[in-house]
Structure 1
Amino acid sequence: MIKEKQVGVTMDTTVRFRIAREEDVSEIVQMLADDELGRKRERYEQPLPSCYLEAFQAIDQDHNNELVVAVKSEEVIGVLQLTYIPYLTYQGGWRALIESVRVHSRARGSGIGEQLMTWAIQWAKEKGCHVVQLTTDKQRPDALRFYKKLGFVDSHEGMKYHL
């Protein structure tokens, strides 16, 4: 189970990271849908489509997946999904895959994304992963710059085949 850690110096600026709960799913989907690309693929509506709760339950029950939220003043302001992948390469090493990184539009530019990513990298290291990898859509140049600033290197060419 994930440890909850706090970052910050006062109650007003403290950000906590924890495993998402079912009651967080609506806020998470709202963040995922809150940009040009997200609006094309997500359905944020009330009631929330059941497919999101079904996906949450599958993630929550999989010990190699963690849906992590950043919380400030009891409000969910960020999210990412960590998936732990065992490999035969690197002598049976483990990798962490980071996906679906979002910060609430009201909190963008405040350092929350950097705190969330730094926390996730450290958490993956503590779990014994030898590498952290991610993909970002080429239509998100700001995200690409952000990840490079954190030390990620575009060392591989990624491809997807949509079914």
Structure 2
Amino acid sequence: MAAEFTIRRATREDLPELLQLYRHLMPDDVPVSTERTEEIWDRFSRYGDSAILLGLLDGRQVATCTLVVIPNFVRGGANYALIENVVTHTDFRGQGHGKAVLLAAVDAAWSLGCYKVMLLTGSKNPATLGFYRNAGFETTKTGFEVRRLPPRER
């Protein structure tokens, strides 16, 4: 029997497993305390239409991304969106789960009236860049950032 893959919004109850999934993005990251995790969840949940999407394979979290929807005063008041923290569990990469979650986030942004969806990656890995291109993202702008923390190792 084939495994069942579903996508849904994360809930507070998903946090322990989600934090483990994030370790596949940044294995050496300093873990966040339970108290701080709860604070972050409470703040994020007030971001209106924003969501953390989960890709579940037979109920197990295997992929995720965060969609932040931002109100806008230009472009006729159309929202725009930012995607961050795109992660697929290392045991499940190359199977289409990450792409499915990413495309679900883009579809959610379109349904919320966003006129564009942006994401940034610091990766120079051709496979990672190809993943984003294959999901429909293009290099159309120049990105700049100011960092307080150093970028993660690639």
Considering Cα pairs closer than 8 Å and 6+ residues apart, tell me whether 1 or 2 has the greater RCO: 2
Percent same amino acid at aligned positions?
A: 24
Question: How far, CA to CA, are the matches of 1:14 and 1:50 in structure 2?
Answer: 33
- The residue aligned with 1:92 is 77
Contact 1:31–1:102 (8 Å) recurs in 2: yes
* Alignment of 1:57 onto 2:47: no
- The residue aligned with 2:7 is 17
* Alignment of 1:160 onto 2:145: yes
The correspondence of residues 72-83 of structure 1 with structure 2, limited to 5 A, is 72-83=57-68
The correspondence of residues 1-163 of structure 1 with structure 2, limited to 5 A, is 12-35=2-25, 38-43=26-31, 48-163=33-148
- Bigger fraction of residues in strand: 1
Alignment RMSD (CA, Å): 2.0
Question: How far, CA to CA, are the matches of 2:6 and 2:125 in structure 1?
Answer: 26
Question: How far, CA to CA, are the matches of 2:139 and 2:16 in structure 1?
Answer: 32
Unpaired runs of 5+ in structure 2?
149-154
Question: How far, CA to CA, are the matches of 2:145 and 2:114 in structure 1?
Answer: 24
Which deviates more, 48-57 or 149-158? 48-57
SS, match of residue 26 in structure 1:
helix
TM-score of the superposed pair, with normalisation by structure 2: 0.84
- The residue aligned with 1:6 is none
- The residue aligned with 2:152 is none
Contact 1:82–1:97 (8 Å) recurs in 2: yes
Instruction: In structure 1, give the amino acid aligned to 2:29.
Output: R
**Deviation readout 1:26-81 (Å, 9 max, x if unpaired):** 2222222224xx1343427xxx5432222122112321421111112111111111
The 1:51/1:142 distance shift into structure 2, 3 A limit, reads farther
Question: How far, CA to CA, are the matches of 2:126 and 2:20 in structure 1?
Answer: 22
